[in-house]
Every structure is written in structure tokens, then in C-alpha cells.
Amino acid sequence: MTEEILKRRTFAIVSHPDAGKTTITEKFLWYGKVIREAGHVRAKSNKKFTTSDWMKIEQQRGISVSSSVLSFPYQGCQINLVDTPGHQDFSEDTYRALTAVDSALILIDAAKGVEPQTIKLMAVCALRKTPVTVFMNKLDRDALDPVALMDEVERILGLKCSPMTLPIGSGKMFQGVYSFIDDSVHFFNPEADETEIRKVDGIDDPRMDEWFDAKYLKEFRDQAELVRGAMEPFDHAKYLKGDLSPVYFGSAINNFGVSQLLDSFVAIAPSPMPREAEQRRVEATEPSFTGFVFKIQANTDPKHRDRIAFVRVCSGKFVRGAKVIHCRTGRQVRLAAPSTFMAQDKTVIDEAYAGDIIGIHDPGLYNISDTLSESENLKFVGIPDFAPEHFSRVYLEDPLRSKQLSQGLKQLSEEGATQLFAPINSPIPVLGVVGVLQFDVIKFRLEEEYNARCRLESAPVHTARWLQGDTLAVAEFKTQNSHDMATDKGGNLVYLCPNEYRMGLMEKNFPKITFAKFHTESP
């Protein structure tokens, strides 16, 4: 069993839309021999839909709303790639997916540098000290200076960079990369099927003067000198602690630098890491099965309102049909038909190991963050709720359907499709989301699945903050701001702040209160 666990590599790709995540995922799947052609499987309005785009709303909009998991063997390892929605409005799903992985790959468009979406998502990785690998993509286009790019990653994302490769030229003059891993040069030739690789004697090897354009070679050598002086060489222990990130350069669409990335990723990425539970730290290689729910996906069949709960296996081995404890309720549940996902195929599996992600049928029992355990009552430290950025009040159009609306809102919030706030002074619920498109999904689903026609109206809320700290100060704050106070699904007190100015003022006036931007259900 230990051998099975140690060969798992569970990771997610994080990027700003359009940086090339879909393209590189396809190449990975191609290397994993999962798809025969590294062509386009992606959704485009009038092309074939991506395998994971099964929700009606996704099809209407031609975007991918839900995360799915892609598993494939590669070089003796079992890769579990937790896919994340491409559209930034569904980044809340990505936040949660990042809590289920052991490492992350950040993709950056080398012509654009670090973009806003990546900054947000990186904050989640930083929170958990997730080891991060960086791939600078699209070198076949005119790119920013590689040292400036890494400098941006260090400054803006707070990741210390260790270049594993460095490009020679970019755009029309992209000639290849130099690999510091084994002192070799990889020639960029978009026409060739395979990348030509030649070993060299360091960056000053005179043969390189014959192979490369003098101007770009000089630039490369200067940059190589610079990074050698200013940046740390790769250190595996530091990487595993999230303190140092290896950086690669390439072009996903040309399949250049991708196999190199995948090979070294498999070599350095962590096998399933231990997880903190309230009671104790749980090691992946412990024999007893444990796991937690990080995502709930509804509506695979709208007629049955069934849901799939995605479980990250944290330790041991899971066997089909086994009885486990649902720790929040103390109930014994039988996991009858767990499935794994390979592109469009959902396969029922007989066993799964720590690091794997399984989908289990959810009769409405599971909440995000729930712990499952074979033998012991455990509670894994929860998945944080992140402060939403858009807020709406929900008005029911047909007063006779109020029960359905409450039930729908409750279930959609349990599933993580929205955050639900109950204002303490008003019966009208407030929904909070990270991306506005989530509102469309919620309205659509309330109507389709719960038959509760409703109207969403933008609420005058700038941000939501969870209040922590001195009890008396919190009580005073609550009295003074009762019209802006609400409780979340767990009954925690939340300040729905109307504007930025007021936020600053409150932080100044109530120094004993922490206005938290994310909230983890206390274990």
C-alpha cells in the first residue's frame, strides 16, 4: 500500500485565463497516453464541448464551470490532475480544489507577466505553503525579459524563483532553452516532431556560438550570469516547504519544454502530504482510510437532484463498499459506487489510495469540509470560505415557494455554489460570490431544480469580513453596525461592509477586532 501511495502526485494548474492551461493539460494527457492527439478538446461556442462541460449552463455559455479530476499513469507515478474552472468567475471552486492538492503548477503568459487571477489564487497556495512550480508559457511570442518575469513572480506572488531553464531569444527569434538541470540546450523548432537536445560544457561552451544568433546568445549569457548571482539554486527541501519554486520556460502549443516540465515535476513533486486534523496530524501512509469532501457537484441528472461529493483521500486505502464514519454526524455510511474520472468517462473503482480523488454519490448528506474516516472520529482542518466580491439580495417571485427557495439556498451554499448570509435585521437573504457569473448559475438552478423563481438584486455591499477578537469590542461593533451585520451558514458573525472608506474607518476605530478576509470553520 505504501508503494501505491508514494507514487501519487496530486496537483492543480493555476493560471490566468488564456495563459494556456487547457493547452498544457492536453499535452500532459497526451504524454500520459490518455488522448491520442494533443489537439483541441476545449469548449468553443460552435466546436465540440470539453468533456467536463456537462452542465446546461456551461453549454449555453461555452465555458467550463466545474472542476474535474484527470488521472493517468506517467513514468511509474500516478498523476492526479485536479482541473480547475477556466473562467475567473468560478475561482471559488479553484480555491477549494487547491486545498485538495499537494502541489501546484502556475502557468504564466510570458508576454503578459503575472496577471490578477494568478495573484488571488496564489494567496491560497501561500496560505497552505503549497509547493509551486512555475511554467512561463508562449515563448514563441515576444516575451518579457525572463529575469524581469521571475522578478515579478518574486515581488508580486512572493515566490522565490529558481530557474531550471532559461530561454535563448523569444518570439520570432526564440531559439531554445538552456537547461541548468543537466547543462544541455534544447533547440526550438516548431516544425520538428521531437526536440533536439545537446549536452554542453556550461553556458560559455563555444559550440553554442555556432548554433545561436550572437545577439540573443549574449543576452542569454548575461541573464544566466545575473540569475546565478541573484537567485538560489534549486533545493528540493525548500521547494517541498513552499519556500522555493523551480521555473521553466517553453511553449505549450508547440509542445516545447512540456515533457521536460512533466518529467522533472514527477521527480520533485511531493507524494501525498500529511494533513492536519483537529485531533492530530494524519500521515498519508497510515493504513486506515481517511478523507475529506472538498467539492460537491450537483445536477448530474436534474430529475433526481443527485449530487457527487468529491473526496480527497488523505490516508490509507479505500475499498469499494466499505463502511466509513461520516464524522460530522457520527453516522456510518457505505460508499457503494465510488468513481474516478478520466475525461468524459466516469469509472467505478474498487480501490483508491491516499492522494486520489474519488467521487461518491451524495444523497444530500455531505457538506464541504466533511471528514470521512474508517475507524476514528476525526475532523480535518476546514476549507476556508473566502470573502466574496459580489453581493445580491434574493427576492422570491412566488411567495408560495418560500420553502423551496430556503431549501435551494441552503443546499447551494452547502455545495459551495454561493455563500449565504442572513442579515440580522432583515429577512431577505444576501448571497455572496467571487465571480458575478455565479449569480446566473444560482438563479438558473433555483428555478430549474427547486422551481423557485426569484429575482437577484445587487446589494450595496463592498466586502464581507468575519469578525474575530475581543468579545466586548465585537458586541459593541455589532450594536453600532447592526444594519450591516449578518451571520454565515455556520452562524458566524459577518460584517457586510458598504464601502471601502467605511472598512478603513472601522479597522481604525476597532483595533481589537480582526476583520478576516477568509474564514475557516473552527475544527
Quick one: 149 or 324, whose CB is closer to ligand G4P? 149
Kindly state whether residue 141 participates in binding ligand G4P, applying the rule CB under 6 A.
Answer: yes
C-beta of 42 vs 445, nearer to ligand G4P: 42
Tell me the Cα Rg of the chain. Answer: 24
Residue 172 exposure: Cα atoms within 13 Å on the Cβ side:
0
Task: Work out how close the CB of 337 gets to ligand G4P at its nearest, in angstroms, rounded to a whole number.
Answer: 31
Told to check if 61 binds ligand G4P by CB under 6 A, we report no
Residue placing its CB nearer to ligand G4P in the complex, 137 or 371: 137
CA atoms within 13 A on the CB side of 356: 30
Please state whether beta strands 307-315 and 290-298 pair in parallel, antiparallel, or not at all (unpaired): antiparallel
| Shortest Cβ 326–ligand G4P spacing (Å) | 36
- 222-232 CB burial, b ≥16 within 10 A, e <16: ebbeebeeebe
Question: Is 346 strand, coil or helix?
Answer: strand
Contact pick of 9, 11, 23, 219 for ligand G4P (by CB under 6 A): 23
Residue 186 in contact with ligand G4P, rule: CB under 6 A = no
To the nearest whole angstrom, how small is the minimum distance from the Cβ of residue 251 to ligand G4P?
3
C-alpha grid cell for residue 508?
481604525
Figure out which of the listed residues 10, 22, 71, 463 binds ligand G4P, where binding follows CB under 6 A. 22
Taking CB under 6 A as the binding criterion, the range among 13-21, 164-172, 327-335, 403-411 that sits at the site for ligand G4P is 13-21
Size of the site for ligand G4P (CB under 6 A): 19
Contact present, 5 and 271 (Cβ < 8 Å):
yes
Question: Quick check: 295 binds ligand G4P (CB under 6 A)?
Answer: no
Q: 242 phi and psi, to 5 degrees? A: 80, 15
Kindly tell me which residue out of 4, 6, 18, 346 binds ligand G4P, with binding defined by CB under 6 A: 18
Beta carbon of residue 64, minimum distance to ligand G4P (angstroms, whole number)? 9
Alpha carbon distances (Å) from 31 to 103, 168, 259, 273, 314: 20, 25, 7, 25, 27
Which residue, among 161, 176, 68, has the nearest Cα to 114 in the 3D structure? 161
Phi, psi of 9 (to 5 degrees): -130, 105
Least distance between ligand G4P and beta carbon 15 (Å): 5
Answer for which of 100, 157, 252, 506 binds ligand G4P (CB under 6 A) is 252
Q: How far apart are CA 223 and CA 234, in angstroms?
A: 17
Least distance to ligand G4P, CB of residue 100, Å: 20
Over the window 344 to 363, marking each residue x when it contacts ligand G4P by CB under 6 A and - when it does not, the resulting string is --------------------
- Helix (H) or strand (E) holding 222, with range, is helix 214-230
Q: Is 40 in the site for ligand G4P (CB under 6 A)?
A: yes
* Residue with the three cell numbers 515579478: 152
138 near ligand G4P (CB under 6 A): yes
The interface region with ligand G4P, picked from 16-24, 126-134, 320-328, 424-432 by CB under 6 A, is 16-24
Task: Write down the least CB distance from residue 181 to ligand G4P, Å.
Answer: 21
DSSP 66: S
Tell me the closest approach of the beta carbon of residue 51 to ligand G4P, in angstroms.
14
| Chain-centre distance for alpha carbon 214 | 41
Q: How far is CA 32 from CA 23, 58, 86, 261, 355, in A?
A: 14, 27, 22, 13, 18
SS3 376: coil
Asked if residue 376 binds ligand G4P (CB under 6 A), the reply is no
Chain residues 70-109 in contact with ligand G4P, contact rule CB under 6 A: 86
Nearest CB to ligand G4P, comparing residues 19 and 327:
19
CB of 124 to ligand G4P, least distance (A): 18
- The footprint of ligand G4P (CB under 6 A) covers 15, 17-23, 40, 42, 86, 137-138, 140-141, 251-254
